[in-house]
Amino acid sequence: MKKNNNSEDNSELSSNGRSRRNLISRSGTLIASFALVSGGLTSTPALAANSNNDSADFDGFIRLSRLLTGHNSLDIQLGERLYSALCQKNTQFAGEVKQLSEFVKQNNIPDVETLDEKLKQQPLHDPMMTIIKAWYSGVIEPGYHATVYGYQQALMYQIPRDGMVIPTYAHNGPDYWVANPPPVDRLLTF
């Protein structure tokens, strides 16, 4: 009789256990899907910064950044991070980028020096300098606790890169461990 009771108890436990497992499984799937969706939202600069921004706004930011920095091969991922952060910091930033782009187009501005001269003492000078500082420093605000959006990719380290090591405590440079070690030309003899 005890065997019978145990088998009845086991079948009851099994059905209870199955319903608990289903609940846990469904909860885990739901949590994972929320994580994937929220992770996808933060990786897209247009969505993370402001729902009104779109890829055309970001493309305009990159085109303007190329003129302002004088570099055509800017790091797009760094650009996404900078654009998103600048839009979050200043809700008017996307509009200022559009105004700057229109000013450049209307006045046929060939380089940043000409733009700087024309914008002296005008409201669009500040956003222009904000973009330049962000690309060159890799941060969008000064201070000890500023968030770093790009360190190795910051333009201030790209220009002298052939003669200067990026400042770091890692002896072989930042992220040195991701590169393949140099090949061994000959075996050492002892």
- Can you give the residue ranges of every domain in the chain? 1-43, 45-172
pLDDT in tens, 164-183: 766 666 666 666 667 776 66
Q: Taking Cα atoms as reference points, which of 174, 153, 145 lies closest to residue 73?
A: 153
In angstroms, the CA 145 to CA 132 distance is 20
pLDDT at residue 10, as a whole number: 47
pLDDT at residue 104, as a whole number: 95
pLDDT at residue 75, as a whole number: 92
Concatenating the DSSP letter of every residue in the chain gives: -HHHHHHHHHHHHHHHHHHHHHHHHHHHHHHHHHHHHHHHHHH-HHHHH-TT--HHHHHHHHHHHHHHHS-SS--HHHHHHHHHHHHHH-TTHHHHHHHHHHHHHHTT--SHHHHHHHHTTSTTHHHHHHHHHHHHHSBSS-STTPPBS-STT-HHHHTTTTT-PPP-SSTT-TTGGGSPPPPPSS----
- What pTM was estimated for this model as a whole? 0.61
Token output for 161: 């890169």
- Residues with pLDDT less than 70, the chain: 1-54, 161, 165-177, 181-184, 186-190
- In this structure, the number of other CB atoms found within 10 A of the CB of residue 172 comes to 10
pLDDT at residue 55, as a whole number: 79
pLDDT at residue 158, as a whole number: 77
pLDDT at residue 148, as a whole number: 87
